[in-house]
Amino acid sequence: MQRTIKFIALAIAIACAGGAVAREADNQGGDGKTGLPVKQFGAILPEDAKWLPFPAFPPEARLAVLVGDPSKPGPYVVRVKLPGGVKLMPHTHPEDRIYTVISGVFYIGLGKTFDADKLQAYAPGSVVILPANTPHFHWARSGDYLTQVAGNGPLGIQYVEPKDDPRNH
């Protein structure tokens, strides 16, 4: 019980301090391509995230960089929004990833070929570990979803079939 009270007090203190820092940070350097620095205290409120298109995703998808610079070595945290019906065809990432489902249902399947029968559904609050170089695919099958992805950069994505890579169109 006492441990729970200490945890709640700590969470409230962090939330209060974070609000002040979040406004000052204004989600990084303003370009949306880098997040808060890893080596200092900071916070970003959901409404301050800068949602941008990401060239390796379908045009409807959006990505917000929250922590670090995903294009460089080091830890990063990004959020990905995918509208209902959008698919990400089979691809791999060179880095290990940890996905946390924020909202919606996150569907992910493993393999080099898109197969709806291989999709697994993960509800909000779920955590999914994806080891580096694991071929997989996504589908916003039942509506929009929002995930948070943590990894150690540089972030990379390579489609199994070059024709599926939006950067080639």
Average pLDDT score over residue span 92-112: 98
Q: What is the pLDDT of residues 2-61, one digit of tens each?
A: 544 343 333 333 344 444 333 344 444 457 889 999 999 999 999 999 999 999 999 999
For 124-130, what is the mean pLDDT?
98
Q: Residue 157 is part of which domain span?
A: 2-168
- Secondary structure, 3-state, 34-52: CCECCCCCCCCCHHHCCCE
Structure pTM?
A: 0.81
Residue with tokens 């990379």: 156
**pLDDT value of position 44:** 93
Q: 55, 62, 52: which is closest to 166 by C-alpha?
A: 55
Closest CA to 155 of 94, 89, 80: 94
Rounded Cα distance between 157 and 86, Å, is: 17
Question: How high is the pLDDT of residue 30?
Answer: 54
Q: Give the pLDDT score at 12.
A: 34
The number of folded domains in the chain is 1
Give the pLDDT mean for 75-99: 98
Query: In the chain, what percentage of residues exceed pLDDT 70?
Result: 82
Angle at 110 between CA 156 and CA 148, to 5 degrees: 50
Which H helix or E strand runs over 12? Answer: helix 2-25
- Residue 36's CB: how many other CB atoms inside 10 A? 21
Mean pLDDT of the chain: 87
> Can you read off the two tokens belonging to residue 60?
């409807």
CATH number for position 161: 2.60.120.10
Q: Taking the C-alpha atoms of 88, 93, 147 and 32 in order, what is their torsion angle to the nearest 10 degrees?
A: -100
